[in-house]
Amino acid sequence: VGVPATLSIVDTDDHGPVIAIRTLEMNDPSNSAAKDAINNYLTTGKPWWEDPIIKDKAPSKVIPFYMVDKVASGWSMTNDSTAGGVKLYSTASSKGFLSGLGPELLRFDTLGGGGNTLRDSPKPDEPNKYSDKIIVQLKSLVDWNRRRMARGIKHGTMGVAPKSTSPGYVAMT
């Protein structure tokens, strides 16, 4: 069961670019702003995600781009049996042949429903015309952030420190 939400890409001082998630909690009886935004949408057609009360509230969750390793869609034969959606994964804990994907950071459907493809390629019967565009944009942002971090490490504006929980390094600003 999903919750309507907006995703924004924001550049922060602490973590660099992040995905800020603002949810619309409609089932919370004390949240009159959400109910007003929905009623306004139903009566006037003004999108609830443009309502200033929803748009300006603090994010419910923030995911730094440096945590995202893979952007995928559809379903996976090894990780889950659910169909649809755009999925963000972190790095797998091992680097072996069968290591697969890391833990799922976020799964969401775009307006109109989720993707239902086996691979990341477009499929004619996909119910959502926006998911492929969003996947391409997110992959581009993840790749851009990796290049930005590598350039920062190379030029000495960003350092690296050993990870405490697993082998490898983590970037430090």
Summarised one tens digit per residue, pLDDT across range 12-57 is: 887 888 999 888 776 666 677 777 887 888 888 888 778 887 778 8
Q: Which one is predicted more confidently, 76 or 116? A: 76
Six token digits for residue 91: 């790095």
Six token digits for residue 33: 């702003």
In the prediction, which pLDDT does 158 show? 80
* Of the candidate ranges 2-16, 18-32, 58-72, the one whose mean pLDDT is the lowest: 18-32
In the prediction, which pLDDT does 134 show? 84
List all residues 6 or more positions away from 62 whose beta carbon is below 8 Å from its beta carbon: 12, 15, 18, 19, 20, 21
Contact 138, 86 (CB under 8 A): yes
- Reported confidence tier of residue 81, pLDDT bands at 50, 70, 90: low
Going by DSSP bridges, is the β-strand pair 61-64/70-73 parallel, antiparallel, or unpaired?
unpaired
Going by DSSP bridges, is the β-strand pair 159-162/104-108 parallel, antiparallel, or unpaired?
unpaired
* Of the candidate ranges 65-69, 75-79, 112-116, 160-164, the one whose mean pLDDT is the lowest: 112-116
Q: What is the pLDDT of residues 109-129, one digit of tens each?
A: 776 544 444 444 444 444 556
**CA 67, CA 160: separation in Å to the nearest integer?**
15
- Reported confidence tier of residue 143, pLDDT bands at 50, 70, 90: very high
**pLDDT higher than threshold 70 for residue 83:** no
**CA 136, CA 124: separation in Å to the nearest integer?**
17
**CA 23, CA 95: separation in Å to the nearest integer?**
34
